[in-house]
Structure 1
Amino acid sequence: MDREIELKFLIAPEASDAILARLGADGAVRRLDATYYDTADHALRRAGFGLRVRDGDGGRKQTLKSASAGGVFARGEWEAPVSGPGPDRDLLDQTPAGRIVNGDVLAPVFAAKVERTLRLVEHAGAVIEAALDRGELQAGTDRAAVNELELELKTGEPAALFDLARDLMAHAPLRLSLVSKAERGYALALGEAPGARREAAVLTRAMTAAEAFQALGNTALGRLCVAAEALVDLPGPEALHNLRVAARRLRALLKLFRPVTGRLAARPASDALKVMADALGPARDLDVYIAGTWRPAVEADPQPVEGLGALGKALVEAQQAAYARALDAAAPGRFGLLALDIAAWLEAGDWLADPERAEVRGSSAKAFAADRLKALSKDVLKRGEHLEALDAEARHRLRIRGKGLRYAIDALATLFPDHPRRLERWSDAARDLQDALGGLNDQALGAGLAREAALVDGDPQAAYAAGALSAAPEATHKLMREAKAALAQMRDLKPFW
């Protein structure tokens, strides 16, 4: 098995010339036609593998790639020449995929028809192969364009790879993508959005805490990139919500593994993610308020208050402005650099060589996870002891801790397979607590944004309607009861860790 470290970027077709000019030097142009194979139930895909047979200048080759091989952007690769048009089963049996296929029939799923322009670049003491691919994916009668740049480290330090990427990003819009051609091809064949079924990281008890963090970070960053791409391509409430959740989950992951990386080391990435999440917040809060409060009031017969039409006009104007800020945060020029910086830090950051944290980095992922889950659950239960007496700020802090606990349970679950029922109950209770406290938070934020929108609009009827709709004590009492019930359930649960 070879271990490759590579970065993949989506590019606009018109950016190709600028990228090639910046890379300099002459290179080869190759025609690469590949067919990807899997079992009828897509066992290889579910296990994180992509199997292709490709015809190119070097002849026909069979390649198996794994989703990860240790680092954030490292993948396992098994490649060998083949003679037939389909996969060589004997060669496949010599790889980890052999036991997954287990004799099942392999059939074509999709094909990739690509023209590849190659450049070999020397940069900061490293040798990097740049491959610019233009072509299409084909699945039956469906087609999807391919316009990608891949940078693969041949020799040298990973930091040079990221440095070259930053240089190119300054001259052309690049969108970091952790979705492979195989994933995009499967999505095309199955009618899915690219990256929509990106699998969660599977942690093993053999992993160290640092390895677990990198595996989880890879998955979280991949979802962040997919969500940003989706929002830019098709703005809307669902895409906005997915990006905001992806940013929060990655930020929560940084906090969860702070003992591994150090607070100061993780701060730049955490702060950048907070800035982005804050830019998305008003649009999301307005979406929730419009759908959950304003629209039901408009559709009620009779309408509960006057001025709902005027308030609706003010809300739409505020929503449009908020979406403009959200799209700016997700735009390739801004988001691309943020994602690349986080990627570089995950793969080659100084935290990996900090001598003061060597012991915790090398500690058992399972032991580390158990300690963190114990501490988080204890903190949440202590803060929630007198929920009704908490002021808004204290309740907000409890909500943040509860969300962190839920995300930690989701991320670390595969390390604890021995008590699935306990794990399920903890996950349900953490979700219920987050939903209830999140609902209370949405009430407060939505009402505030509605009043602000009405004031900006200047229509007194809109202001009256915003104030009248804010008064919903029965909804507040219901959410408070649900939060208390979730906390009570947690207190009775046995640890799954």
Structure 2
Amino acid sequence: MKRDNPKGEKRSADSEPAVKAHSAQEAFSSYAAPLVDHAIEYANAVREDPSPEALHKLRVSLRRLRSLWWAFEPLLESGENTRQRALYKYLATAAGKTRDWDILIELLTRDDNGARSGTGEIAPKLQDARGAALTTSRETLSNADVKHLLREALSTASKELNTAHERTPLRKFAEQRVAASERSLKKRMKRARRAKRSNYVAFHNVRKAGKKLRYLLEFFGPILSGGRKRTLKRLKQIQKRFGTLNDVVASEMLLRDNAALLAGAGDPEAALHWLGKERKRRMRSAAGLLRKL
């Protein structure tokens, strides 16, 4: 399954005006505006395009926005920053409800998994559930007026930063925020190494911290001192290995939570049994990667 790397977004986030800016306050809009444009574009696309890719791109755009607002948190009013990050999470969750069904369906039906997991008879029910989730996602995003909300968030944050009396050198600021994100990832990796194999939350926290750091390196890469190729390689390994684990865990929970929808259609227990075995296998794989890093 595709991980969080939509074509074209990285280049926009690392825009030339941001690289040339002297202060973090001055650079903010150059980082944020392209991300806002992408999110609005993808939100509009979801209205017409029911494909998994459109929803995936929207969710990734909103996650990148949330990470950028986290990066600039020290320079923004705390309450407003928290509200904006909560908004991005809410919108991403709305898009994610449909995306979760896509992942579940793909896991159970690709290759010969359908035969082993007993998916054949429940497949139509899964597609029906996916269709209902898409309708809800579209309604939520439409009612939220994504374009207005994101433009207003960008305007509010940009105004606050542009009128600030203090100026923070962009490179110094970027180095500090990346360092803070790196410390968070190392702390969570340490906890996950010590955690019991059944403690999925510890593994999930590693995935989230790794994703945030990767976004920050994509934002600030051109202005950071020293290369980060080795770090990015490690982050991609974490994202791939822990992402596949998350897919299985989220799919297993989704199937359990919607057991009533599948009643009378095949054998959902067979699918749950297969997902449970796959979760344990991928948990071992994720733990093995942690030991190597």
TM-score of the superposed pair, with normalisation by structure 2: 0.85
2:12 to 163, 175, 199: 199
On the 8 A contact 2:181/2:209 being kept in 1, the answer is yes
1:466 equivalent in structure 2: 271
**1:450 is the counterpart of 2:262:** no
366 and 228 in structure 1: CA distance in 2 versus 1, 3 angstrom threshold: same
1:322 equivalent in structure 2: 133
On the 8 A contact 2:36/2:151 being kept in 1, the answer is no
1:415 to 211, 216, 223: 223
1:242 to 57, 66, 84: 57
| Matched residue SS, 1:331 | helix
| Matched residue SS, 2:110 | helix
Identity score, percent: 24
Deviation at residue 198 of structure 1 after TM alignment: 6.8
Deviation at residue 351 of structure 1 after TM alignment: 5.1
2:91 equivalent in structure 1: 276
1:65 equivalent in structure 2: none
Where in structure 1 are there 5+ consecutive unaligned residues?
1-194, 489-497
1:334 to 145, 149, 163: 145
2:3 equivalent in structure 1: none
1:289 equivalent in structure 2: 104
**1:480 is the counterpart of 2:291:** no
Where in structure 2 are there 5+ consecutive unaligned residues?
1-7
Q: Aligned letter for 2:125?
A: A
Q: State the structure with bigger RCO (CA 8 A, min sep 6), 1 or 2.
A: 2
Superposed CA offset, 1:409-447 (max 9, x none): 00001113x64xx32222221122122222222111111
In structure 1, distance between residues paired with 2:45 and 2:139: 14
In structure 2, distance between residues paired with 1:467 and 1:333: 35
480 and 230 in structure 1: CA distance in 2 versus 1, 3 angstrom threshold: farther
Structure 1 segment 55-454 matched on structure 2, within 5 A: 199-200=12-13, 201-202=15-16, 203-204=18-19, 206-298=21-113, 303-306=115-118, 308-331=119-142, 334-348=145-159, 350=160, 352-353=162-163, 358-359=165-166, 362-390=167-195, 391-416=199-224, 419=226, 422-454=227-259
In structure 2, distance between residues paired with 1:197 and 1:255: 17
On the 8 A contact 2:36/2:65 being kept in 1, the answer is yes
On the 8 A contact 1:432/1:483 being kept in 2, the answer is no
427 and 298 in structure 1: CA distance in 2 versus 1, 3 angstrom threshold: closer
In structure 2, distance between residues paired with 1:334 and 1:243: 14
On the 8 A contact 1:262/1:351 being kept in 2, the answer is no
333 and 447 in structure 1: CA distance in 2 versus 1, 3 angstrom threshold: closer
Q: Aligned letter for 1:304?
A: R
In structure 2, distance between residues paired with 1:450 and 1:431: 28
In structure 2, distance between residues paired with 1:394 and 1:466: 25
Q: Aligned letter for 1:324?
A: T
314 and 352 in structure 1: CA distance in 2 versus 1, 3 angstrom threshold: same
On the 8 A contact 2:189/2:290 being kept in 1, the answer is no
Superposed CA offset, 1:39-60 (max 9, x none): xxxxxxxxxxxxxxxxxxxxxx
Once superposed, which parts of structure 1, at least 4 consecutive aligned residues long, lie more than 6 Å away?
195-198
On the 8 A contact 1:285/1:446 being kept in 2, the answer is yes
On the 8 A contact 1:315/1:453 being kept in 2, the answer is no
- Which of the two has greater strand per residue? 1
TM-score of the superposed pair, with normalisation by structure 1: 0.52
| Matched residue SS, 2:213 | helix
Q: Aligned letter for 2:156?
A: W
Q: Aligned letter for 1:342?
A: A
451 and 294 in structure 1: CA distance in 2 versus 1, 3 angstrom threshold: farther
Deviation at residue 206 of structure 1 after TM alignment: 4.4
Of structures 1 and 2, the larger Rg is shown by 1
| Matched residue SS, 2:111 | helix
461 and 235 in structure 1: CA distance in 2 versus 1, 3 angstrom threshold: closer
| Matched residue SS, 1:310 | coil
253 and 210 in structure 1: CA distance in 2 versus 1, 3 angstrom threshold: same
Deviation at residue 329 of structure 1 after TM alignment: 3.4
RMSD of aligned residue pairs (Cα, Å): 2.4
On the 8 A contact 2:117/2:271 being kept in 1, the answer is no
Deviation at residue 313 of structure 1 after TM alignment: 2.3
On the 8 A contact 1:205/1:365 being kept in 2, the answer is no
Superposed CA offset, 1:373-428 (max 9, x none): 11211221122124243323333222221111010000001113x64xx3222222
In structure 2, distance between residues paired with 1:352 and 1:206: 13
In structure 1, distance between residues paired with 2:151 and 2:204: 31
In structure 2, distance between residues paired with 1:252 and 1:368: 15
